[in-house]
C-alpha cells in the first residue's frame, strides 16, 4: 500500500514545472525522507519493474509517459504563441516600412 501512495504522490510531483517528468534521486530521497531507505528503494524497484514508463537515467527517476505528455503540451503552447505572433506581424505593417513611407516625400533622389 505505501508504494501505491508513493507513486501517486510522485506522479503529481512530476507534473510540476520544476520537474517536468524527471527528478533527481537525491531530491527524491529528500522529499520522501519520512520513508525508510529500504521502503523507498523497494518502491522505486516496483516502479521500475512495472510497465508504466519508469526508468533511472543519469541519477534521475524519469517517467517517459509524463515527459512525452508534458513536452507535447509545451510544444502545443509554443506553436499557439508562434501563430499569434505571426498573425500580429502579418496584420500590421512593419514599423520600418511606416517610417520609410513617412520620410519618402522628404528624400531627394541622387
Distance from chain centroid for Cα 15: 8
Domain that holds residue 103: 1-110
C-alpha dihedral sign at 50, 53, 57, 59 = negative
% of the chain exceeding 70 in pLDDT: 82
Total domains, the chain? 1
Residue predicted with more confidence, 87 or 103:
87
Containing 71, the helix (H) or strand (E) segment is helix 64-91
Residue predicted with more confidence, 62 or 17:
62
Confidence grade of residue 25 (pLDDT, cut at 50, 70, 90)? very high
- Relative to beta strand 60-63, strand 22-24 is antiparallel
pLDDT of 73 over the 70 cut:
yes
pTM for this model (two decimals): 0.69
User: Which of 77, 63, 52 minimizes the C-alpha distance to 15?
Assistant: 63
Amino acid at each position: 500500500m505505501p508504494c501505491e501512495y508513493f507513486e501517486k504522490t510522485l506522479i503529481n510531483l512530476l507534473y510540476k514545472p520544476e520537474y517536468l517528468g524527471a527528478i533527481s534521486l537525491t531530491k527524491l530521497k529528500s522529499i520522501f525522507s519520512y520513508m525508510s531507505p529500504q521502503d523507498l528503494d523497494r518502491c522505486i524497484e516496483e516502479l521500475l519493474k512495472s510497465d508504466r514508463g519508469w526508468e533511472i537515467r543519469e541519477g534521475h527517476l524519469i517517467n517517459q509517459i509524463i515527459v512525452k505528455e508534458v513536452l507535447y503540451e509545451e510544444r502545443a503552447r509554443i506553436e499557439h504563441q508562434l501563430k499569434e505572433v505571426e498573425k500580429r506581424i502579418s496584420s500590421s505593417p512593419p514599423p520600418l516600412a511606416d517610417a520609410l513611407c513617412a520620410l519618402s516625400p522628404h528624400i531627394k533622389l541622387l
